[in-house]
Structure 1
Amino acid sequence: MMTDYTMASIYKDNYENDNDNKNNKVLISSHIKVADTFFKRLKGLLGTKDLPSGKGLLIIPCKQVHTFFMRYNLDLIFLDEYNTIVHMIEDIPPFRISPYIKESEKVLELKAGTIKQYNLMEGEKLVIY
């Protein structure tokens, strides 16, 4: 099974008028693994003991996730094709299945508490580098 992941950073866009200026963005996570193949999506975060702040997993494509066999809670952020937040689940525990989110194109899995920490809201756009 392939374990090489593309890495990305996720920012909260503070100003709609200046989308290319990183100075107007708040860094949410600088160590995001991108799971964009069948095997990477299949493995996900399985086998990890915890998820430190600043790390996460971006699953592409994705409309629904499960937390079977996980050892910790997660925050889930469902994004559309433009990286706009279309749904969020805070602090989902292990052994759960998220709802199917039709509008979602990708799901960002982050440490539980991240949504609250950054005051993220549906309709906000995230920037992925």
Structure 2
Amino acid sequence: MNFLIRNVTRKTVLGDAILRADTSATRRTGLLKHTSLKPGHGLWIVPCQGIHMFFMKFALDLVYVSRAKHVKKVVRGIQPWRISLCLTAHSVLELPVGTIDRTGIVPGDILEVTRN
């Protein structure tokens, strides 16, 4: 099932084809089988306070989100073989590189998630 994720604060769309990883298997696998992400696509990992980029084939933008859908932290272009954490987050969005700059998202922004 795809989700549409909007930044209510900035009136922008982060993605309209976001998949949700909310089981042990889907969170563990993540985007490992992908070689890239198309604009508008991504993965919403719930629950999640940190990710690793081991064995990934491409960089990602990360948006850490609270349970109330407030942006807690953004990470631009994290490269393969890196780790990122945000202990105050409840979930993380893995998005194509450039999404953060294109949408202007910053910590404190409020997101809206709807089924697409």
Q: Which residue of 1 aligns with 2:27?
A: 41
Q: How many residues align?
A: 114
More strand by share: 2
Corresponding residue for residue 70 of structure 2: 84
How big is the alpha-carbon RMSD for the aligned residues of Structure 1 and Structure 2? 1.1
**Residue 125, structure 1, aligned to residue 110, structure 2:** yes
TM-score, structure 1 length as denominator?
0.85
Q: Deviations over 1:61-103 (max 9, x none)?
A: 000001111111100000001110001110000010113x121
- Provide structure 1 residue ranges, at least 5 long, that are not aligned to the other structure: 1-5, 16-24
Residue 84 of structure 2 corresponds to 98
Q: How far apart are 1:26 and its partner, in Å?
A: 2.5
Alignment of 1:1-129 (within 5 A): 6-14=1-9, 25-99=11-85, 101-129=86-114
User: Which has the larger Rg?
Assistant: 1
Whole-angstrom CA distance in 2 between matches of 1:115 and 1:79 = 14
For 2:108 and 2:98, how far apart are their aligned partners in 1? Answer: 19
Give the Å deviation of 1:27. Answer: 2.1
User: SS state of the match for residue 117, structure 1?
Assistant: helix
Q: Tell which has more relative contact order, 1 or 2 (C-alpha 8 A, sep 6+).
A: 2
In 2, Cα distance between equivalents of 1:14 and 1:120: 9
CA distance in 1, matches of 2:30, 2:44: 9
